[in-house]
Homo-oligomer: A and B are copies of this chain.
Amino acid sequence: MGLTGIRNVCKVSLDIPAGKQPQLHNRWHPDVPFAGTIKNGETVKIECVDWTGGQIGNNDSADDMKTVDLTKIHYLSGPFEIETAEPGDVLLVEIMDVQPFEDAPWGFTGVFDKSNGGGFLDEIYPTAAKAIWSFEGIYCTSRHIPHVKFAGLIHPGILGCAPSAEVLATWNKREGELIAANKLDRIVAQPPNETNVHAGSASEEIKAKVGREGARTIPGRPEHGGNCDIKNLSRGSKVYLPVHVKGAKFSVGDLHFSQGDGEISFCGAIEMAGVITINFKVMKNGMADLGMKSPLYLPGPVEPHYGPGRYLTFEGFSVDEHGKQHYMDVTVAYRQTILRCIEYLRRFGYSDYQVYLLLSCAPVQGHIAGIVDIPNACTTLGLPMDIFDFDISPTGPAKKLDMGSCAFETGVKEGKITQGGKNSEYSWGGGLTYKEGSASAVVENLKEKVVGS
């Protein structure tokens, strides 16, 4: 009698390609077949692969990061049938635990190359980079970013129920309109893509349909949540998810050992494979009862807490790094806030790329402080000082420590640019990278910055 173990409804292999495992899938679509059934009220374990499906290695080169195949990511575990769930219900998902696999206690944080994925600061930091993190119980450390250790606010980056056909059509329509109207010099959204589609155990016919129609997993979406990347959906949290199809078709994946608000480098959390333990409860008619259009949640009680006075806090405004005034643009403000923090930590010997990686994955607090004082939105970034093993408080000049380096593409190094006398105009010297023996790479990067500054 009593609990003698928790049912594991989804075993995954880290040796078989994720695209070959039928209990995984990589599109949101109502026709992806169920990968298993869970009772209303049951607690189960669900194993997950990492969000690159195993493309990134525990090594000291970012070559794999640079060449990552972004059509082979976000393999989700599921979808699972939750008994009794019907459209209009709410699925109450309580995250009882998330753990890395015992024999793979490591994860990674990456910066994608600007030409292959990019990230929030890719105009300034265009080079692929990587940090490997080792897990020891609740804590992680990285040989690529020394002198920091912190407890993981461990959580799933992605969870949600499948869209109905109607919801899916809405998504495809509105994102298609954005793509059609795009005049920016960058990809603004990802339309359905048949390349490397994985529809679980679906027939070829269904798989082809999923490829044509299925929503990509990158963005979170208001109707179901999805890739919210909310760092606080951690152990002990309750998440209230709208149900759009019979049986809910719940999926989960993209486990993070830790993430900072914004997940700024894109592959910015500490990505890992592992197992999540979830309790499921169906709230009949919950969407109407709760007046719910989007998921809501209650965080758990075990977040790391440091006390408010231990957060060194930076401000940023919607004036960009070139001095241009934007109108109430929180995105610009948050970018500036992060740059202020990079400048601050650079003084202790960290390279810009190390800090960029660190702020993506450490439990930093990104707040929208003021959003009404035209033309300047104001955001703040709270950096917990206690994750460092030296004193970073603002008491005067900083003493530089030997901080080593994060991982770069083979041949790429960080350094100061001395040629051309142009770097006096350049404000981000600490972050420049160059390819050995290749002046052009330097010049290319440099030009970009000089033009911008």
Please give the residue numbers on chain A whose beta carbons come within 8 Å of chain B beta carbons, in ascending order.
1-6, 43, 58-60, 95-97, 102-106, 119-120, 132, 134-139, 143, 151, 170, 174-175, 177-178, 182, 184, 187-190, 218-222, 225, 227-232, 235-236, 240, 261-266, 268, 277, 279, 283, 286, 289-317, 319, 323-331, 334, 336, 340, 343-344, 346-347, 365-380, 382, 386, 391, 393-394, 396-398
Inside 8 A of A293's CB, which chain B residues have their CB? 340, 343
B328 and A331 within 8 A (CB): yes
Given contacts A189-B327, A228-B370, A262-B368, 12 further A-B contacts (CB under 8 A): A96-B138, A174-B323, A177-B325, A178-B327, A222-B316, A291-B343, A292-B340, A292-B344, A301-B306, A330-B330, A331-B331, A331-B371
**Known contacts A4-B103, A375-B178: A394-B307 contact under CB 8 Å:** no
Inside 8 A of A120's CB, which chain B residues have their CB? 371-372
Inside 8 A of A277's CB, which chain B residues have their CB? 136-137
**Known contacts A369-B229, A370-B263, A378-B230: A313-B297 contact under CB 8 Å:** yes
B174 and A324 within 8 A (CB): yes
Within the complex, which residue of B60, B137, B366, B371 is in contact with A235, where a contact is CB–CB below 8 Å? B137
| A109→B217 CA distance, assembly (Å) | 41
Show 25 A/B contacts (Cβ-Cβ < 8 Å), sorted by A. Answer: A95-B137, A96-B137, A137-B277, A174-B325, A178-B327, A188-B375, A218-B374, A222-B317, A222-B336, A227-B370, A230-B370, A230-B380, A289-B397, A289-B398, A291-B343, A291-B344, A291-B346, A291-B347, A296-B315, A298-B309, A298-B394, A310-B310, A330-B331, A366-B367, A367-B367
**Known contacts A134-B2, A334-B371: A309-B301 contact under CB 8 Å:** yes
| A134→B143 CA distance, assembly (Å) | 38
Within the complex, which residue of B95, B219, B298, B310 is in contact with A376, where a contact is CB–CB below 8 Å? B219
**Known contacts A331-B330, A374-B218: A315-B228 contact under CB 8 Å:** yes
